[in-house]
Amino acid sequence: MKDISCKLLVIGAGPGGYVCAIRAGQMGVDTVIVEARKPGGTCLTIGCIPSKALIHASDEFDAARHMASGGGHLGISVADPKIDLARTVEWKDRIVGRLTTGVSGLLKKAGVKILQGRARFRDGRTVIVATETGDQLIHAENIVIATGSEPVELPRVPFGGKVISSTEALSLSSVPETLAVVGAGYIGLELGTAFAKLGSKVTIIEAAERILPLYDADLTKPVAKRIAELGIELLTGAKVDSLDAKGEQLLVTANDGETRTILADRILVTVGRRPVTEGWGREELVLDMDGRFIRIDDQCRTSMRGIYAIGDVTGEPMLAHRAMAQGEMVAEIIGGEKRSWDKRGIPAVCFTDPEVVSVGMSPDEARRAGLDIKIGQFPFSANGRAMTMDAEAGFVRVAARADNHLVVGIQAVGSGISEMAAAFGLAIEMGARLEDIAGTIHAHPTQGEGFQEAALKGLGHALHI
C-alpha cells in the first residue's frame, strides 16, 4: 500500500478519539483515525449506551410487575408481564448500530480518513496499521493515543464459561435465574440492580465495607435501601477466593471469616477497568508513566513531543465525557488554539436506583483541602415533583466556601437525577455562588427546585423545609 502522511493520527475511535478526530477535521487539520472494531469504543458499543438501554428495560419491566401485583397506592393493574431478553438485546443492538453509523457519518462529514485495523508504533512519528488487506504505514506530525480501557480479570476467577464481564452481560439472550456480582462499584450495582428487576436472584460481593466506596455514605444510603427492597443479597467486607474444582460455585470469605459457597448461573465480575497500554507498541516509545497510566500534562501532552494521550489510558476518572473533553481540547491545540485542561467540573454519575451524581468536591474533600464550608441540603421528600413521581428518596446537597459562598461541590441522589448533572457542572464551571443558584428562578414543579432550595438552605433561609 502507498504510505499515508497526515498532520494528526488518532489511535482509537472511542468517545475521546472520535471527538478529537471530528473537531480536528472541522478545523481543517488533515486527520486519520484508526480503530480495530466499530467506531464508538467501549462506551457506545459495549458499555454506557447498551447498559442504559438494559437499565431502562428493567425499570419498565419492574414497574409492570409491580402493577401486575395490584399497583400499590397508584391503583394501576395490568396482566402478568413477561420479558423476552433476546428481543430486548435486539432493540439495544439497533440503538448501538444507529449510533456507530452516526459516528462514522460525522467523521466522514468532517473529512477524517477512517482506517480499520490494529495500530502499532514503529517510532514516535510512524505507525503501522494491520488491516484486512495488509499493513499500512502512516507518518504523522501529531499522534493521539486513545486506546481506552478493558475489564479487570480476577486471577483466580478468570473470564470464561459462566464467569462473564459486563460485555457478555449486556448480550445475554435470557435472564439468569441466579446471578453473582463481584464488585459493588457503579458497574456492578447498575447491572446487578437491572437483572434483579428482570427477575434474577442476585448476590453482590464487595470487598469494602459498603457499596460505592468512592462516594460518601449519605449518598449511598438510599441506594443500599433500594437494593434491600429488591431482594438483592449484599455481602460487604467479603473476599472472593476462587471457583470450586468444577468451576460451578464461587467460594467467598465473608466478613465473619467463614467461607461461603455461592451457586450462580452466571458470575459477573466488575472489579474495575485497566488502561490498554499494551499491544500497540508502547515499548517503541519513551513515555513517562503514572502507575498503570500514561502521564500527561494539562494539555494532554505526554513526555514525547508530538504525542498526546486522552481518556481512560491517562487515569481517573475513567469517564467517557472526560475523554470527549480532552479530545476536543487536543484537537484545538493541534489546530492552533490555546487550551488547557481543568478537571474540577467533571460530573460523575451512577445510574443506580436511585441515581447518584457528584460534581466537584464532597464536603469531606473540601474540609481536607482546608476549606471552611457551608452545606445546604434539601430532601426530595419535600419536593412536589418527586412526590408526584413516587420518587421521594434522596436529596440535593451543595457545599460552598463559608467566606464568599463560592460553590465547590454539588451532590445528589434521586430518581432521574442524572439529568441535573449538566446544571450542577455548569454551576461549578461558571464559579457560581450560593446567591447565584438561589436567585435563579427554577420552574415549578420540577426536581430542579431541590437545587435552588439546597442553595437557600446554605444561605440559612430555605423556603420549603
CB atoms under 10 Å from CB of 339, counted, come to 14
Taking CA atoms, 69 is separated from 62, 65, 143, 389, 443, in Å, by: 11, 6, 58, 19, 35
Taking CA atoms, 117 is separated from 128, 138, 147, 150, in Å, by: 10, 12, 13, 18
Q: Tell me the C-alpha distance between 200 and 217, whole Å.
A: 27
Q: Tell me the C-alpha distance between 134 and 137, whole Å.
A: 10
Query: Cell triple for residue 442?
Result: 427554577
CB-count burial class (<10 Å; 0-12, 13-18, 19+) for 415: buried
Q: Rounding to the nearest 10 degrees, give the CA dihedral for residues 84, 262, 253, 215.
A: 10
Phi then psi for residue 249, to 5 deg, are -120, 145
Residue 444 appears among annotated catalytic residues: yes
Judged by DSSP in three states, 34 sits in strand
Q: Which of 66, 139, 444, 464 is catalytic?
A: 444
Of 454, 450, 431, 432, the C-alpha closest to 442 is 450
Looking at residue 414, the DSSP 8-state letter turns out to be E
Taking CA atoms, 365 is separated from 209, 239, 359, in Å, by: 20, 28, 12
CB 54 within 8 Å of CB 86:
no
Q: Tell me the C-alpha distance between 16 and 14, whole Å.
A: 6
Across the strands, what pairs with 203? Answer: 180, 233
DSSP code per residue over 352-386? SSSEEEEEE--HHHHHHTT--EEEEEEEGGG-HHH
Looking at residue 280, the DSSP 8-state letter turns out to be S
Catalytic residues: 444
